[in-house]
Every structure is written in C-alpha cells, then in structure tokens.
Amino acid sequence: MSHDNDRSRYRAVPSSRLGRVAGFGRLASGVAGGMLAEGARRMASGERMSAQDLLLTPGNARRLTERLSHLRGAAMKLGQIISMDAGDFLPPELSGILATLRDQANFMPARQLDKVLQEEWGPDWRKQFRWFNPRPIAAASIGQVHKAMTRDGEELAIKVQYPGVADSIGADVDNVATLLRMSGLLPATLDLETLLKAAKEQLAEEADYVREGEQMRLYAERMAEHDGFVVPTLHDALTRKRILAMTFEEGIPIEALADEPQELRNEVFERIVNLVLRELFEFGAMQTDPNFANYRYRRSDGAVVLLDFGAARDIEPHVIEGYRRLLGAGLTGDGSKVRHAALNIGFINETVIERQGERVDRMIGIITEEMNTDAPFDFGNRAFVPLLREEGMAIAEDKQSWHIPPVETLFVQRKVSGTALLGAKLKAVINIRRLVDTKLAELA
C-alpha cells in the first residue's frame, strides 16, 4: 500500500462481470497490438525475434500494469505475486514495471466509497464517527484504507473492500490464466488447475474481512510474549465482511530504513527473519503475503508494525517437516542431501533431475555456498542471482521439465522469497546460517 497525492488515481472499480470482462478484452487487444507493432519494427530492422520477446516488451508491461491497477481485485493480486515471486527471473524492464503493482492502485471515487459504506453500515454511518477521512491513506489490490476517529475518540484504520472484487475472483483468475496460455509462454502439458483452484480459494479468504479480523486476533495472541512487534487490535463492532476496522498504528514504510544506519537495518531484518522461523516452526501458522507494505517501522520505540492478515493460514505438518529437513540438509553443505530434501518437499521432481540434473546441482551448489557460511551474509549483494537466473532460465527452456510444487509449499516459499527480497531492499547483513542453526537446534 502507498501514499499518493495524485488525483488521477481516483477511478471507479468496474464491479459488474461485463465491465471486468471488457477490461480484460481491452488488455488482450492492447497487448496483441503492441506485439504487432514491435514485430513490425524488429522485422524492419532485420532483428530476430520470438513470441516471448514480443510479449515481454516495456510497452506491454505498461499496458498490463495500467489495466490491472484499474481492475484491482484478483487480477492485480496475481500481478503482484508474479512480480515478487519471479522478479529476479524476469527481464528487468518487465520486473520493474510489474513491481509498481506492489504499491500502486487506483482509489475509489467518493460516490462509490459512500455506496459501499452505506451497504455495510447503513445510511447514517457517519454518525458513528467524529471524523472519517474520505481520502485513502493507502490502496492495494482488494481494498483501500481510511483513517477515522470514533465518537469515543479512538483512532482507527478502516479497510474498505472494492465493490465486486469478491464476486469476480473466479472469473479474474481464469482470465489471467487465459492470457498466460495465449502468450505461448506456458507448455500445453502444464496442469494449472490445482494452482488456479488454490489461488481462487486464497483470494476468497483474503476477501473475507471477518475471517481476516479473526486471523489478526489469533496472530496477536501468538505474538503476546514477543517484543519488538505490534499487531493492530480488531474493532469488532465496525467490522463486516467487506470492512475491516482496527486500531491505527503509526509507522513509516519499512523500505525507508534503507537510508538508516547499517546496524539498525541489520537488527530489524534479523528480527523479521526470526519471526518467519517462528511462524514456520513454532506457530505452525504464517502470514504468507510478504508485500513490503505489510511491514511498518515505528520510530518511537523501534517496533515493527505487522499488517494485513488476509493471507494468514495454518501450515501443514508435512510442510513444516519438509522445511526442517531441507534446511538441515543445507546446513550440512551436502548437495545430494539438499537435492533429496527438495524432492521430498516437492520443489523439484524426478523428471527435472533426469533431464536437468547437472543444472539443478549447480543451483543447489550456489545457494548452499552462499547461505552456509558461518558469517554475516550480505543480502544486498546479489552477485549470485544472475548465476541462478542463467541456470534457471536454461532449465525453463526445457518445457518438459516444468513442474509446479505443491500449493501448500508455495504459500510458505512465497513468504521466504519475499523476505529475502526485503533483505535485499534494506541491504541487510546478518548471519543467516546461525539463525537457522539455532532454530533447528531448538527443535532437536
């Protein structure tokens, strides 16, 4: 979520099925037109080209970003996930433009906002507040956040869901999948159905603000004895399925710490990594959305404010055990043990090993060498990423090797990968091996 003073960001959310389908139609036709124009330009200059090159142009990325920002909902959420999960492996132009989806959404116009609030709170909803700021302090894929003060003087953050978002999840996910299939980037043999079903289920959960409020309450209970973090307090009386009311917690964007002293960046990031390890191995539950906007830093006491629990979920015991074995194997530095653990947890399959075993082993070697040294690891030094990208893209070119890990594992890995990206953003330097070693020793 982000602050922005640009009035042009006020655009009504297309809430009808027809309106959203039309939006996808405009996106598809715009991308196709962009591909034709780019193809003609390259042909005229004598360049060789592929369908993938033509699709992944900056112009098409801008079209994708603009349209998904307008549609919001599941469509925009999937764009965010792609940018975070695959950012290191996309062309820089596409990765950079898609990354704007992580913190940029249009706002609802006042009339549309008032309609939602009346439907949830009744026509006299304003009487419950001393003031309600109609300008959002933040906006994201599923809702936007407003500050308000109750008659009792309590300052709240109130998340209001965009109209039509919950009802459009199934169609939005199917439309994005259709665009991906049309692109020719996915092998025809790749079975997306399990992944699409899970995406629809998670997005439906995220669109249920009553559920999110309960998850926030449960998370606060787990964190009761852990200093250094703040979880907002739910305001039950004002929360509805499309409205989440909670205490307003002051804080600056976590990325702003990138300009702070190294010691502070290291301490805060180490705290966050320890929290991820606790989620995985102590809580058995995890907030699986690693969007940077879900962390704030409170200067007054140095606490990290945790936000957005729509993606919080229990972790299957076999996933917890799989990660314990994988990390334990990584600490040994034995590539064969890591490969075996990765097979068991479902990150790779036998087909990949048979067809691309040497490249897989080289990737494992790069990762274990980087992460297995008992010394501070510089997350800001991404020199090893191009090496991983080179091997990963070579494997990806062999479409018979494509494999989708189990969905329950993907949720956890999304949080792990996103946390590493935050470390890179903060240029944090911490002894990751020692943190993992300590946590695994506690489990022994």
Active-site residues: which are they?
289
> In 10 A of CB 210, how many CB atoms?
15
R_g of the chain, CA atoms, integer Å: 22
Residue type, 164: G
Residue type, 52: Q
**3-class SS of residue 171:** helix
CA atoms within 13 A on the CB side of 135: 8
Residue whose tokens read 């290291």: 266
Are the C-beta atoms of 312 and 219 separated by less than 8 Å? yes
d(C-alpha 118, C-alpha 137), whole Å: 20
User: Which residues have C-beta within 8 Å of that of residue 157, sequence separation ≥ 6?
Assistant: 137, 145, 146, 147, 232, 245, 246, 247, 248, 249
Task: Give me the residues paired with residue 143 across strands.
Answer: 161
d(C-alpha 16, C-alpha 112), whole Å: 13
Which tokens in the block code for residue 311? 């993606």
Strand pairing report for 303-306 and 295-298: antiparallel
Task: Give me the residues paired with residue 269 across strands.
Answer: none
d(C-alpha 199, C-alpha 203), whole Å: 6
Torsions phi, psi for 346 (to 5 deg): 95, 10
d(C-alpha 11, C-alpha 435), whole Å: 46
Are the C-beta atoms of 384 and 392 separated by less than 8 Å? no
